[in-house]
Homo-oligomer: A and B are copies of this chain.
Amino acid sequence: MEAGGADVVSINDVAARAGVSRQTVSNVLNAPERVADTTRSRVEDAITALGYRPNTTARNLRRQRTRLLGLGLLGGDPDWTSTVINRFIHALTAAAAEQQFHVLLVPRGDDPVRTHLELHESGTVDGFALIDNEPDDARVQALADRRVPFVAFGRTHIRTPHDVVDVDGAAGTRDGVAHLAAQGRRRLAFVGWPEDSLVGEERLRGVREGCVAAGLDPAELEVVRRPNTIAAGAEAAGVLLAGRRPPDGIVAVSDTLAIGVFRALRGRGLMPGQDVGVVGFDDAATAAQLDPPLTTVRQPLVAVARRIVERIEVRCTTPDADHVRELIAPELVVRET
């Protein structure tokens, strides 16, 4: 033990007494569900015996915490799924306030990696929430390499350990297929994004799993892939409806494409929800306003935002805590399709 001061028992003392690594003590404090019961008991006994108290305030002071979280803005078109981004910004700001953080918006700039690193190195922010990540996102790679506290909202191909919190898209589309199957729909189709989208491929996987669960042959699922525009959705649905086996149920990878599906159905005198079931994804602002209102998968953004802020706090206070990869299930909002 070090001499002097009130906070003299260190995490290393606890680890030594319990016969475990410092990492394990850190896990007991921050992610106890990850530690075997017997180990956890031993560590908790050592904590009690030594009177160890993790001192968050002192830790914050030592690390010069600012309690600002950087939120990297979307790299692309700011209009893209703006309902979801807008809701997420609100949810993150509220979750941050609950946990004594504020959110700072990180400008895109010419060199996003440098912008993020400078904000951290200058002590402006404690860490980051990264959204709209690309499969090989340079920001994710750079921050993970340098062990900067951050959480990626959305998965990438990057293997360097880092925290990920994401929506369980497959669970959402599985629920969508179950909804269509419960209406007696048997000839299902999926209007998806091009194959380079990890998010889109996961939603397709959920559709296939949903088919199996409903006793439908996933090999008979019609899949068309289009960019995320209303016109492309209409064109895709037109191709499906003119095909050899016109669908009676369509899952769209986004509400934008689902709106296009509506347009194609209406243009052929077919009624969404009666002649053909339709399920979207996102619960965009327009989904409830369509005629008829669209059944869709609502992203659990409040839960995602809370979990992101919790994990950033863990990373700031316990840099060697295990990394997590968490999926949060979305909710099917059943309307009239």
In the bound complex, residues from chain B placing their C-beta under 8 Å from that of A68 are 104
State the Cβ distance, A53 to closest chain B Cβ, in Å.
27
Bound Cα distance from A306 to B93, whole angstroms: 23
A102 in contact with B124 given A93-B107, A291-B231, A291-B263 (CB within 8 Å): yes
Bound Cα distance from A229 to B287, whole angstroms: 12
Chain B's closest residue to A90 (CB) is B78
- For this chain, the copies found in one complex come to 2
**Quick one: which of B74, B89, B231 contacts A105, CB cutoff 8 A?**
B89
Instruction: Judge if A197 is at the interface, Cβ distance under 8 Å.
Output: no
Whether B94 pairs with A107 at a CB distance below 8 angstroms is yes
Which interface class (under 10, 10 to 19, 20 to 34, 35 or more) fits A? 35 or more
Produce 1/0 per residue, A113-149, CB < 8 A to B: 0000001000010000000000000000000000000
Produce 1/0 per residue, A79-95, CB < 8 A to B: 11011011101101110
Whether B263 pairs with A82 at a CB distance below 8 angstroms is no
Instruction: Judge if A35 is at the interface, Cβ distance under 8 Å.
Output: no
Whether B79 pairs with A230 at a CB distance below 8 angstroms is no
State the Cβ distance, A286 to closest chain B Cβ, in Å.
7
Instruction: Judge if A157 is at the interface, Cβ distance under 8 Å.
Output: no
Whether B285 pairs with A82 at a CB distance below 8 angstroms is yes
Whether B78 pairs with A93 at a CB distance below 8 angstroms is no
In the bound complex, residues from chain B placing their C-beta under 8 Å from that of A278 are none
Instruction: Judge if A28 is at the interface, Cβ distance under 8 Å.
Output: no
Bound Cα distance from A137 to B102, whole angstroms: 23
Instruction: Judge if A96 is at the interface, Cβ distance under 8 Å.
Output: yes
Instruction: Judge if A97 is at the interface, Cβ distance under 8 Å.
Output: yes
Whether A108 pairs with B94 at a CB distance below 8 angstroms is yes
Whether B86 pairs with A286 at a CB distance below 8 angstroms is no
Produce 1/0 per residue, A97-114, CB < 8 A to B: 100001111111100000
Q: List 6 A-B contacts (CB under 8 A).
A: A73-B89, A78-B86, A79-B86, A105-B105, A234-B291, A256-B289
Can you add 5 more A-B contacts, CB < 8 Å, to A73-B93, A86-B86, A103-B105?
A79-B86, A82-B86, A102-B107, A231-B289, A259-B286
Taking beta carbons and an 8 Å cutoff, which residues of A are in contact with B? 68, 71, 73-74, 78-80, 82-83, 85-87, 89-90, 92-94, 96-97, 102-109, 119, 124, 229-231, 234, 256, 259, 263, 285-286, 289-291
